[in-house]
Amino acid sequence: MHTDPDCIFCKIVAGQIPSKKVYEDEDVLAFHDIHPWAPVHFLIIPKTHIATMADVTPAEQTLMGKMMVLAPQLMAQLGVTGGFRQIINTGRDGGQEVYHLHMHVIGGPRPWSKG
């Protein structure tokens, strides 16, 4: 598994920085966002360091599918039944702030502070 020692999300995966976990398996980690935009807001990240969506290759196809399928399952477990959003910001112009691929999953009653 590739990691970046300077990446905050790699440090979260390694347990060096605490997080409020929603889900974890051998491939991905989901944890609550520290600055939520909505009543339910968590991130799903691959445990391996992939900087941006633009760096995804066919080798990560299964991993990306796992992330997409996991989002609605976790939202249902967290009681979100009225809909939600899945957002992946890519690159500077796409609004990406942390350069470790991550999917925001946000939902719950509106109005939300963003989105």
pLDDT higher than threshold 90 for residue 11: yes
In a domain, 33, yes or no: yes
In a domain, 96, yes or no: no
Say whether 102 is catalytic.
yes
Q: pTM for the full model?
A: 0.95
Question: What pLDDT is attached to residue 115?
Answer: 62
The confidence band for 3, taking pLDDT boundaries of 50, 70 and 90, is confident
16: domain range?
1-39
In a domain, 18, yes or no: yes
Reported as a single tens digit per residue, the pLDDT across 44-95 is: 999 999 999 999 999 999 999 999 999 999 999 999 999 999 999 999 999 9
In a domain, 9, yes or no: yes
Give the active site residue among 41, 100, 102, 104. Answer: 102
- Helix H, strand E, coil C: the string for the chain is CCCCCCCHHHHHHCCCCCCCEEEECCCEEEEECCCCCCCEEEEEEECCCCCCHHHCCHHHHHHHHHHHHHHHHHHHHCCCCCCEEEECCCCHHHCCCCCCCCEEEEECCCCCCCC
In a domain, 16, yes or no: yes
